[in-house]
């Protein structure tokens, strides 16, 4: 006989692992020097969250974007989002160790804050960058995509942390195993 079910006590560590991946994605997005944006034609202009560079081959003229208030706001929001995400990760580990329902909901609230802050930052950046630069077409690169990836993971984890209180007994290992599929 074959049975297929969900082992909640073992699966409960997947969500903090996802939050760890979100932290890594955020660090990659914030620290990336190769740029969030690059031009499509001659690869002669790129910009990261911190600066923009123009030129070719080994001759690059780089200027800081931090002289613009919108760039400062984007950097601040992304860093605040990362710090709150780290706190949410620590709280999620504590919540999963003891299956503490208020901590699960607090983690969900922290993740919603992270999502709101990072979505604002990730929308401000392309809007203001396009106002700053008028020529040509630009592509948003993998580093910008990592920022969105971290935000999407946080959305999913926030939903899961909101749903977990319904499965408290299963998370503790006290509930009856619900089989998805059984064959006789």
* 59: in domain: no
Q: How confident is the model at residue 61, as a pLDDT? A: 83
Q: How confident is the model at residue 15, as a pLDDT? A: 87
* 96: in domain: yes
Q: Which two tokens stand for residue 140?
A: 């948003």
pLDDT (mean) for 125-129: 84
Q: How confident is the model at residue 88, as a pLDDT? A: 95
Q: Which domain holds residue 155?
A: 18-37+68-176
Domain tally, the chain: 1
Q: Structure pTM? A: 0.83
* Residue given tokens 């890594």 in the structure block: 24
* 77: in domain: yes
Q: Return mean pLDDT, the chain.
A: 82
Q: How confident is the model at residue 73, as a pLDDT? A: 93
* 4: in domain: no
Q: In the predicted model, is pLDDT for residue 107 greater than 90?
A: yes
* 162: in domain: yes
Which of 23-27, 60-64, 80-84, 131-135 is least confident?
131-135
Per-residue model confidence as pLDDT tens digits over 12-68: 788 899 999 999 999 999 988 777 888 776 577 777 888 887 777 777 788 888 888
Q: How confident is the model at residue 137, as a pLDDT? A: 74
Pick the residue with more confidence: 93 or 134? 93
* 27: in domain: yes
Return the DSSP state at 69: H
* 93: in domain: yes
79, 74, 47, 83: which is closest to 63 by C-alpha?
Answer: 47
* 99: in domain: yes
Q: How confident is the model at residue 1, as a pLDDT? A: 45
Query: pLDDT category, 178, cuts 50, 70, 90?
Result: low
36 in Cβ contact with 28 (< 8 Å): no
CB-CB neighbours of 10 under 10 Å: 9
Q: Which two tokens stand for residue 184?
A: 């006789």
- Give me the torsion for CA of 60, 65, 67, 69, rounded to 10°: 170
């Amino acid at each position: 006989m074959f049975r297929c079910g969900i082992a909640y006590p073992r699966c409960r560590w997947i969500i903090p692992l996802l939050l760890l991946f979100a932290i890594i994605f955020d660090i990659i997005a914030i620290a990336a020097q190769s740029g969030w944006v690059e031009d499509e034609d001659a690869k002669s202009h790129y910009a990261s969250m911190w600066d923009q560079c123009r030129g070719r081959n080994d001759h690059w003229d780089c200027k800081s974007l931090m002289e613009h208030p919108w760039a400062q706001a984007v950097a601040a929001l992304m860093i605040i989002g990362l710090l709150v995400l780290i706190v949410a990760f620590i709280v999620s580990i504590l919540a999963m160790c003891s299956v503490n329902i208020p901590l699960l909901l607090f983690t969900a609230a922290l993740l919603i804050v992270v999502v709101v802050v990072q979505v604002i930052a990730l929308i401000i950046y392309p809007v203001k960058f396009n106002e700053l630069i008028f020529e040509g077409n630009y592509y948003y690169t993998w580093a910008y995509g990592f920022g969105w990836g971290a935000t999407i993971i946080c959305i999913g984890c926030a939903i899961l942390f909101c749903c977990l209180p319904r499965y408290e007994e299963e998370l503790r290992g006290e509930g009856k195993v619900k089989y998805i599929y059984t064959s006789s």
